C-alpha cells in the first residue's frame, strides 16, 4: 500500500510544460471571473459554446471587420478611430485584440464590446470586475506602445450602453497582480478549485465539465465556502455529510439532448448532404439523420460511410463506432476534440502504481456486487435471504481486499451466485410459462458463442456499454485503453471496462430483463445455430431500443440527490474519476443505487 494522493499544494509542476509567449487580455478577464475557468480554457484548451458565447461571436463578427491601419503614436491629427487591432506588451508578456480604439492625437480610449448588460449598483451602472481588468490590460499595452490612455469603455450590447472605466493606479495594480497569478497558475499546472456556491456557475458554459458543486461537495466544501477535512485515507465517503442542507445545485441538465443512431441493415450506405446524413439501401433513401441531433453513430456490420460524412461527424464531435454483425465492438473514430494531455499523463502515472489500482478496483468491485444484489432484491420473485446476505458480505470483503487477484476471485464468486439467481428475474406475464429459449441453458454466463437467448442479449448489451464508456473516456480526456482494475491487454478498452463494472447490472442486465419481461423481445427473435443462439435482425433492433430506453431512464444520484439519466451519469462518473486522479477529491465515489 502506498501513500495517499499528494495534496494539490505539494504536487510538482508537470515537467516539459511549455507556456505560450503571451497571455491574452481575454484570459486575464477569465482568470478574474474564475481561475478554474481560465485553467480549463487556456491550459487545457477546453471550450464549450453556450447561447451567450455564440450570440457574442455573431455580434463580434461585425466589430471584427478590420478598419483602417492604426496611426502610430503622435502621427495622427485630430480625432481618429480604428477597429480590431492586435497589440502586445513585451514587458508584461500580454497580448490583446482591441475591438475599437478611439483616438485624439496621441490620446486613445479602447472600447470593448460585451454581449451582456452592465452591473447595476447603488452608485449607477458599472463595468463588471473582469471586464474592467480586460480593459486595464488593453490600456497597459497601449501605454507600452507609446499612446496615452487613462480611460477605457465597455459597450454592453444587450442594453446598448457605454460604461466608462478609469485607469486608476489601483486598477492597474490589481490587473498586474491577476496577470501574474494567471501565469503562475498555468506554470504550476494544478487546477484551481471550483468557486463555492457562486451565482456565476449556472451561467458558465463549462459547468458540465467543471462540476463545481459536485466537486466541492466531495471535497467537503459547503455552499458558504468553508472547507472541511477530506475523508481519511481508505474511509468511505460519508453518505450524508453535515453540510448537505445547502445541497448540490443541479447545474447539469438531466438528460443529454442528443440521440444515438444504430444502423443495422447490412449493405446500407451513409452519405452527407449539408448537415444531414442520408442513409440509403441500394438507391432508396431509408432515413435522414440530422448531424446536430446525433451524439453517436453506431455501425453494426457491413455499412459504408463516405469520407465527407465522417469529416462532418468529426467536426461536429459525433463519434462513429464500429461493430461486427454479431455485435463485437471494434473501435471508434473521433474528431480531435480533447486536448487534455495532463489528465492522460496522470492516468499513465497512476496506472503504474499498484496501490492506486487496488484502491480503485476495490470500490469498483464492491459497487458492482452491491448493484447486483440490488437487482435481485428488486426483481426476483422470491429472493433467497442467504444469497443476499452472502453478497452483502462479499461487497464488504471487497472493500478490504489485499490484492487484485483476491478482488478478481471475489468478483467471480459473486457473479456466479448472481447469475444462478438471474433466471428468477425473468417473468413473462401471468399464467404463461417462461419460454423455453429464455431458460433452457441459463445456469450462468456463457459466451463465444452464447448458448441461450439471455446470454446472447447480455453479450450484446455489454458490448454496447463498453462502447458508451469508451466514447465517454475520449470525451473526458482519458485514454480508454489504460485501465487500473483491468490491466492493459491487447485490444481491450481496459479503462472503459473498469468504469462499466458497477453499471453492468444497472444498465445492461436491467435492459435485458425489461426487454424480455415486457415482450419487447420474444422467442421468435432468436434462431438456434448449432450450439449457439443468435439474435435475428429485428430482435437486435428491438434490443437497441431497450438499451437506449434504459440509458434514458432518470435515476437519483445517491450523493447529490438530483435525478439524471444513466447516459449523463456515465459522464459525471468519468469526470469524478478524473477529479479523484487529479487529487481534488479524496475518494472515487462509485455509483450505487439504493
Partner 1 sequence: MRNSYLVCYDISDDKRLRRVFQIMRGWGDHLQLSVFECQLTRAELAELKGELGEVIHHEQDQVLFVDLGPAEGRGDRVITAIGRPYTSFDAPCYVV
From candidates 149, 268, 357, 507, binder to partner 1 by CB under 8 A: 268
CB of 245 to partner 1, least distance (A): 27
Interaction of residue 275 with partner 1, rule CB under 8 A? yes
Interface with partner 1 (CB under 8 A), residue from 99, 411, 525, 548: 548
Q: Say whether residue 291 binds partner 1 (CB under 8 A).
A: yes
Return the number of the residue (518 or 528) whose C-beta is nearest partner 1.
518
Q: How far is the CB of 126 from partner 1 (least distance, A)?
A: 27
Residue of 16, 169, 199, 274 that binds partner 1 (CB under 8 A):
274
Nearer to partner 1, 199 or 274 (CB): 274
- Residue 293 near residue 316, CB atoms below 8 Å: no
Query: Of the ranges 170-178, 345-353, 474-482, 547-555, which one interacts with partner 1 (CB under 8 A)?
Result: 547-555
Nearer to partner 1 (CB atom), residue 244 or residue 306: 306
Q: Does 262 engage in binding with partner 1 (CB under 8 A)?
A: yes
| Strands 554-556 and 284-290, sheet pairing | unpaired
Q: How far is the CB of 485 from partner 1 (least distance, A)?
A: 29
| Of residues 542 and 585, the one with the C-beta less far from partner 1 | 542
Q: Is 399 left (phi over 0), alpha (psi -120 to 50) or beta?
A: alpha
Which three cell numbers mark 393? 458480505
The C-alpha cell that represents 385 in the structure block: 435471504
Nearer to partner 1, 51 or 381 (CB): 51
Q: Examine residue 306 and tell whether it contacts partner 1 (CB under 8 A).
A: no
Question: Which residue bears the cell 464500429?
Answer: 322
Q: Which residue's CB is nearer to partner 1, number 206 or number 590?
A: 206
Residue 182: exposure state from Cβ atoms within 10 A (0-12, 13-18, ≥19): buried
| Local structure of residue 505 (DSSP, 8 states) | I
Three-state SS annotation for 393-456:
HHHHHHHCCCCHHHHHHHHHHHHHHHHHHHHHHCCCCCCCCCCHHHCCCCCCCCCCCCCCHHHH
Residue 549 near partner 1 by CB under 8 A? yes
Q: Which of 32, 211, 279, 391 binds partner 1 (CB under 8 A)?
A: 279
Q: Minimal distance in Å, beta carbon 584 to partner 1?
A: 28
Helix extents (H) in 47-93: 51-63
Selected range binding partner 1 among 152-160, 260-268, 420-428, 579-587, rule: CB under 8 A: 260-268
Query: Is the CB of residue 526 less than 8 Å from the CB of residue 503?
Result: no
254 vs 389, beta carbon nearer partner 1 = 254
- What residues are paired with 104 via a beta bridge? 79, 107
545 binds partner 1 (CB under 8 A): yes
CA distances in angstroms from 491 to 373, 380, 466, 488, 500, listed in the order given: 31, 36, 13, 9, 17
Distance CA 114, CA 124 (A): 18
Q: What is the DSSP string of 514-571?
A: HHHHTTSS-GGGEEEETTEEEE-HHHHHHHHHHHHHHHH-EEE-TTT--EEEHHHHHH
Q: How far apart are CA 121 and CA 576, in angstroms?
A: 38
Q: Toward partner 1, which CB reaches closer, 266 or 324? A: 266
Listed ranges 171-179, 215-223, 234-242, 539-547: which one lies at the site for partner 1 (CB under 8 A): 539-547
CB-nearer residue toward partner 1: 447 or 536 = 536
Site string for partner 1, 40-79 (x = CB under 8 A): ---------xxx--xx-xx---------------------
SS3 string, 3-55, reads: CCCCCHHHCCCCCCCCCCCCEEHHHHHHHHHCHHHHHHHHHCCCCCCCHHHHH
260 binds partner 1 (CB under 8 A): yes
- Pick the stretch among 148-156, 224-232, 264-272, 360-368 that binds partner 1 (CB under 8 A): 264-272
Q: Which is nearer to partner 1, 278 or 387 (CB)?
A: 278
Q: Give the contacts of 503 (CB within 8 A, at least 6 positions apart).
A: 371, 465, 469, 566, 570, 591
Task: Give the nearest distance from C-beta 398 to partner 1 in angstroms.
Answer: 33
Count, residues near partner 1 per rule CB under 8 A? 38
Q: In angstroms, give the least distance from the CB of 547 to partner 1.
A: 8
Residue with cell 460585451: 114
The three cell numbers locating residue 296: 453517436
Binding status of residue 257 toward partner 1 by CB under 8 A: yes
Cell, residue 303: 455499412
Decide whether 344 or 541 has the Cβ nearer to partner 1. 541
Nearby residues of 529 by Cβ (< 8 Å), 6 or more positions away: none
> Hey, which residues between 551 and 570 contact partner 1 (CB under 8 A)?
551-552
Give the nearest distance from C-beta 591 to partner 1 in angstroms. Answer: 20
CB of 397 to partner 1, least distance (A): 37
**Cα(451)–Cα(441) distance, rounded to whole angstroms?**
7
CA dist 501 and 361 (Å) reads 10
265 part of the interface to partner 1, by CB under 8 A: yes
Q: How far is CA 548 from CA 520, 540, 543, in A?
A: 13, 12, 8
Q: Mask of contacts with partner 1, 417-456, x by CB under 8 A?
A: ----------------------------------------
Question: Which residues lie near partner 1 (CB under 8 A)?
Answer: 49-51, 54-55, 57-58, 253, 255, 257, 259-265, 268, 273-276, 279, 286-292, 294, 541, 544-545, 548-549, 551-552
Amino acid at each position: 500500500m502506498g501513500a495517499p494522493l499528494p495534496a494539490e499544494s505539494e504536487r510538482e509542476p508537470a515537467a516539459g510544460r511549455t507556456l505560450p509567449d503571451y497571455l491574452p487580455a481575454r484570459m486575464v478577464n477569465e482568470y478574474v471571473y474564475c481561475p478554474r475557468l481560465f485553467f480549463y480554457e487556456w491550459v487545457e484548451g477546453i471550450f464549450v459554446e453556450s447561447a451567450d458565447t455564440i450570440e457574442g461571436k455573431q455580434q463580434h463578427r461585425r466589430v471584427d471587420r478590420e478598419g483602417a491601419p492604426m496611426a502610430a503614436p503622435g502621427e495622427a491629427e485630430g480625432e481618429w478611430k480604428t477597429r480590431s487591432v492586435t497589440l502586445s506588451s513585451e514587458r508584461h508578456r500580454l497580448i490583446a485584440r482591441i475591438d475599437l480604439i478611439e483616438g485624439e492625437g496621441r490620446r486613445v480610449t479602447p472600447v470593448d464590446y460585451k454581449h451582456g448588460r452592465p452591473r447595476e449598483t447603488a452608485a449607477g451602472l458599472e463595468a463588471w470586475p473582469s471586464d474592467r481588468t480586460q480593459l486595464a490590460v488593453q490600456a497597459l499595452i497601449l501605454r507600452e506602445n507609446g499612446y496615452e490612455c487613462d480611460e477605457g469603455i465597455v459597450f454592453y450590447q444587450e442594453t446598448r450602453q457605454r460604461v466608462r472605466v478609469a485607469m486608476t493606479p489601483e486598477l492597474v495594480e490589481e490587473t498586474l497582480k491577476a496577470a501574474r497569478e494567471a501565469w503562475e497558475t498555468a506554470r504550476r499546472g494544478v487546477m484551481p478549485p471550483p468557486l463555492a456556491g457562486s451565482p456565476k456557475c449556472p451561467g458558465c458554459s463549462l459547468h458540465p465539465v467543471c462540476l463545481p458543486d459536485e466537486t466541492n461537495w466531495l471535497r467537503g466544501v459547503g455552499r458558504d465556502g468553508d472547507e472541511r477535512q477530506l475523508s481519511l485515507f481508505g474511509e468511505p465517503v460519508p453518505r450524508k455529510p453535515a453540510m448537505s442542507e445547502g445541497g448540490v445545485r443541479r447545474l447539469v441538465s438531466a438528460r443529454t439532448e442528443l440521440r444515438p443512431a444504430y444502423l443495422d441493415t447490412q449493405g446500407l450506405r451513409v452519405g452527407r448532404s449539408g448537415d444531414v446524413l442520408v442513409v440509403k439501401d441500394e438507391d432508396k433513401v431509408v432515413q435522414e439523420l440530422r448531424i446536430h441531433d446525433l451524439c453517436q453513430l453506431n455501425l453494426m456490420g457491413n455499412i459504408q460511410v463516405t469520407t465527407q460524412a465522417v469529416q462532418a461527424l468529426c467536426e461536429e464531435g459525433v463519434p462513429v463506432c464500429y461493430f461486427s454483425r454479431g455485435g463485437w465492438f471494434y473501435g471508434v473514430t473521433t474528431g480531435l476534440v480533447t486536448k487534455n494531455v495532463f489528465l492522460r499523463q496522470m492516468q499513465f502515472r497512476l496506472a503504474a502504481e499498484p496501490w492506486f489500482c487496488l484502491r480503485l478496483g476495490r470500490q469498483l468491485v464492491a459497487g458492482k456486487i452491491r448493484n447486483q444484489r440490488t437487482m435481485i432484491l428488486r426483481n426476483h420473485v422470491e429472493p433467497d435471504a442467504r444469497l443476499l446476505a452472502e453478497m452483502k458480505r462479499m461487497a464488504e470483503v471487497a472493500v478490504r481486499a489485499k490484492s487484485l487477484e483476491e478482488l478478481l476471485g471475489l468478483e467471480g464468486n459473486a457473479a456466479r451466485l448472481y447469475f444462478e439467481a438471474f433466471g428468477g428475474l425473468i417473468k413473462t406475464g401471468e399464467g404463461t410459462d417462461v419460454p423455453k429459449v429464455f431458460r433452457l441453458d441459463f445456469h450462468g454466463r456463457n459466451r463465444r458463442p452464447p448458448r441461450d437467448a439471455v446470454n446472447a442479449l447480455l453479450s450484446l448489451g455489454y458490448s454496447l456499454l463498453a462502447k458508451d464508456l469508451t466514447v465517454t473516456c475520449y470525451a473526458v480526456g482519458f485514454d480508454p485503453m489504460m485501465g487500473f482494475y483491468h490491466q492493459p491487454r491487447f485490444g481491450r478498452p481496459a479503462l472503459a471496462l473498469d468504469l462499466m463494472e458497477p453499471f453492468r447490472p444497472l444498465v445492461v442486465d436491467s435492459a435485458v430483463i425489461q426487454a424480455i419481461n415486457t415482450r419487447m423481445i420474444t422467442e421468435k427473435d432468436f434462431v438456434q445455430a448449432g450450439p449457439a443462439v443468435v439474435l435475428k435482425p429485428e430482435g437486435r433492433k428491438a434490443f437497441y431500443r431497450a438499451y437506449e430506453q434504459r440509458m434514458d431512464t432518470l435515476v437519483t444520484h445517491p450523493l447529490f440527490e438530483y435525478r439524471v439519466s444513466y447516459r449523463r451519469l456515465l459522464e459525471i462518473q468519468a469526470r469524478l474519476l478524473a477529479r479523484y486522479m487529479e487529487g481534488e477529491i479524496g475518494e472515487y465515489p462509485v455509483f450505487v443505487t439504493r
